[in-house]
């Protein structure tokens, strides 16, 4: 029977220690990522379920037809089909309070589809005639419920509030 003995010089031992520490750090990071995912969920909803709304607006009016008061990250499809020309204003919410506004004219009997990120508000302005509008809004959003003591989450996600209701 033979015995094999291995001795480590100081450099080998320290290298092995560093490798073990690196693996522990990587495991901790993976655990943090999984924990963070456990506090978030994604859902999709529409303005009228998943049906298209059909409504009329009086002539020469400006009406806010949709407004989002949450600060949850979202991606939204907006479909508009009026029987007379309309002007739409779509407001979005961006990181660090940088808002974007889209102004478009949708022609009579035309169809316009928008895809926007962090949708906040839809305003419709009608022309000289009472206008019938088909409107579809489908919004996919992310809600993350934070741990009250998680300062790192607060620092990283300042651009939105986490709603858990």
CA distance 145 to 162: 6
Span 103-159, pLDDT tens digits = 999 999 999 999 999 999 999 999 999 999 999 999 998 877 665 544 544 454 444
Q: Which two tokens stand for residue 98?
A: 């940088």
Fold of domain 41-144:
Jelly Rolls (2.60.120)
Span 70-94, pLDDT tens digits = 888 889 999 999 999 999 999 998 7
Domain boundaries along the sequence of the chain: 41-144
The pLDDT confidence band at residue 164, using thresholds 50, 70 and 90, is very low
The pLDDT score that the predictor gives to residue 165 is: 34
Q: Which two tokens stand for residue 93?
A: 């919410």
Average pLDDT, the chain: 77
Beta carbons within 8 Å of 120's beta carbon, 6+ residues apart: 67, 68, 91, 92, 93, 99
Span 37-83, pLDDT tens digits = 557 778 888 776 667 899 999 999 999 999 988 888 889 999 999 99
Q: Which two tokens stand for residue 31?
A: 């655990």
Chain position carrying tokens 């895809």: 115
């Amino acid at each position: 029977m033979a015995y094999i003995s291995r001795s480590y010089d100081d450099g080998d031992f320290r290298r092995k220690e560093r490798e073990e520490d690196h693996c522990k750090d990587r495991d901790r990071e993976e655990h943090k990522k999984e924990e963070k995912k456990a506090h978030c969920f994604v859902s999709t909803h529409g303005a009228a379920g998943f049906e298209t709304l059909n409504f009329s607006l009086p002539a020469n009016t400006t009406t806010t037809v949709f407004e989002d008061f949450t600060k949850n990250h979202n991606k939204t499809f907006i479909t508009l089909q009026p029987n007379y020309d309309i002007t739409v204003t779509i407001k979005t919410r961006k990181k660090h309070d940088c808002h974007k506004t889209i102004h478009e004219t949708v022609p009579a009997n035309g169809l316009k589809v928008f895809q926007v990120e962090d949708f906040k508000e839809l305003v419709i302005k009608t022309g000289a005639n009472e206008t019938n509008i088909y409107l579809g809004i489908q919004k996919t959003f992310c809600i993350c419920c934070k741990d009250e003591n998680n300062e790192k989450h607060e620092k990283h996600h300042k651009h939105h509030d986490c709603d858990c209701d």
